[in-house]
Amino acid sequence: MTIKDRKARQKQLLRQEILDAARDIFVKEGYDRLSMRRVADKIEYSPTAIYLHFRDKQELVFSLCEETFSRLVRELESLDSGKDPIARLKLGLRRYIEFGLRNPQHYIATFVIPHRDVDDSKLAEHYKDENTMGMRALGHLRANVEACVVAKKLRRVNIDTATRALWAAIHGVTSLFIAFPSFPWGDRDAVIDTAIDAIVDGLRPAR
């Protein structure tokens, strides 16, 4: 191993150490308690070392969320393609909700907390990047909607509009469960299934 290779490896190891420390604070204490200084203290480095790897807290959190959402994308992409397209669509929507409930801090940081400290033009660029994990997850949902329309299981809706409407609906379910865990939801699985049935069946062709 050359000196250059060794330095690159050490840099990657430190980056991962920063991410691991940030994730621990983020998951246990939440977005507001995460700071570059606290991460630096946790791994016993100077804050300057953190800024060599991540421009700011927003970039650090984005990297954490990308790392986490890659698991969601793998789950969605591994759904059985042999199933009825409606069943596959509903299963994908349920997997999304379950993922958000398993990773509430990541979900809140990505989709609930306003990104006021990020320039709107940069956010627009991010949303155009189909390789980000969030947009890949949305792309998977779009593909499922399109498959249902092609199979005539859904009426001939605008696929992009329907995709965003379905995402908005399941985001509402996910956010409410995270924000109000003590609310008397009753049978939570039944609530989730009923919500998914309602939003998908509402797009079915008229009988």
Per-residue pLDDT at 103? 86
Per-residue pLDDT of the chain in tens (207 residues, 90 and over written 9): 687 667 778 888 899 899 889 888 887 888 788 899 999 999 999 888 899 999 888 888 888 878 878 888 888 888 776 679 999 999 999 999 999 999 887 788 777 765 555 555 555 565 566 678 778 888 999 999 999 999 999 999 999 999 999 999 999 999 999 999 999 999 999 999 999 999 999 999 877
Residue 90 CB: number of other CB atoms within 10 A? 20
Specify the residue for token string 């203290």.
41
Return the structure tokens found at 57: 């807290």
How far is it, in rounded angstroms, from Cα 165 to Cα 97? 15
Per-residue pLDDT at 121? 58
Tell me which of 3.40.50.2300, 2.40.100.10, 3.90.550.10, 1.10.10.60 is the CATH number of domain 1-54.
Answer: 1.10.10.60
pTM listed for this prediction:
0.78
The predicted-structure confidence for 24-52, as pLDDT tens digits, reads as follows 888 788 878 889 999 999 999 988 889 99
CA angle 153-159-161, nearest 5°?
125
Give counts: helices (H), strands (E), the chain. 10, 0
> Around 97, how many Cα atoms within 13 Å sit in the side-chain half-sphere?
26
Per-residue pLDDT at 122? 55
Class of domain 64-201: mainly alpha
Beta strand extents in the chain (DSSP E only): none
- Residue spans of the domains in the chain: they are 1-54, 64-201
